[in-house]
A = this chain, B = another copy of it.
């Protein structure tokens, strides 16, 4: 077993394929820009896309050999097969980390793991608007090396109420120029796995090139990984015999 953290960065790849102005921002695809951005000696990174790879990039034993899965999706959530969503969920419950990015809030897998619709408010301007991501818990591992606030010059607004379960740990809250706030960095535990949702990262803006955002994503990969020595999942377990024997009450 490799000592490196095995990361698979999945991207639907639809925007870059269909829209020249997006392709201009991310000519190699969002997945590749993220891969370039978080590259370091601790990670062994593979990318996968909906259109370009067999089985949408997650067939065979790829999921079994993934410690942390990144997920960027938007337009074609509905095309992701339920069977694949089942497999991803099973892997998360068994301990695989999952980093859900931006419009992935409406992906099947995120809604599956949250149990909610993950609805929110949003506003899209051609020129975007300023966002400030505040580290409300600067002691959290995902906030290490990150400034007290990250200014994103051009962003899409995502606002409250965000229909998610209360996070196990809330790390970032965003401020938007137009007057909104948003819980933009949320940690969850489900089964044996860890999930981090990060809100910022619209396809039309070069957000994944920013060093501070890349630091957040690399930190998230480290935080999400859990390698359980025993590899045992949280199974249903029938216990035949009592562990203890209690004397009958008189």
A229-B112 contact given A135-B161, A165-B189, CB 8 Å threshold: no
User: What are 21 A-B residue pairs whose CB atoms fall within 8 Å in the complex?
Assistant: A93-B117, A95-B139, A115-B190, A117-B236, A119-B234, A121-B237, A121-B239, A122-B236, A122-B239, A123-B238, A132-B181, A137-B189, A138-B161, A144-B229, A166-B168, A170-B170, A173-B183, A174-B181, A177-B246, A178-B244, A179-B242
- Give the distance in Å from the alpha carbon of A231 to the alpha carbon of B116 in the complex: 17
Instruction: Find the B residue at minimum CB distance from A235.
Output: B119
Residue A228 CB within 8 A of the other chain: yes
Instruction: Find the B residue at minimum CB distance from A121.
Output: B237
- 1/0 per residue, CB under 8 A from B, across A150-177: the answer is 0000000101111101101110011111
- Give the distance in Å from the alpha carbon of A173 to the alpha carbon of B239 in the complex: 19
- Point out residues on A near B: beta carbons under 8 Å: 89, 93, 95, 112-117, 119-123, 129-130, 132, 134-139, 144-145, 148-149, 157, 159-163, 165-166, 168-170, 173-181, 183, 188-193, 226, 228-229, 232, 234-247, 249
Query: Are A157 and B245 in contact (CB-based, < 8 A)?
Result: no
- Give the distance in Å from the alpha carbon of A126 to the alpha carbon of B241 in the complex: 12
Q: A134-B181, A144-B228 are in contact. List 13 more A-B contacts (CB 8 A).
A: A117-B234, A117-B236, A122-B236, A122-B237, A123-B238, A129-B246, A137-B189, A138-B232, A145-B229, A149-B243, A173-B181, A175-B179, A245-B247
- Give the distance in Å from the alpha carbon of A122 to the alpha carbon of B235 in the complex: 11
- Give the distance in Å from the alpha carbon of A81 to the alpha carbon of B220 in the complex: 38
Partner of A119, one of B117, B236, B242, B247: B236
Query: Are B117 and A115 in contact (CB-based, < 8 A)?
Result: no
A178-B228 contact given A119-B234, A136-B161, A189-B139, CB 8 Å threshold: no
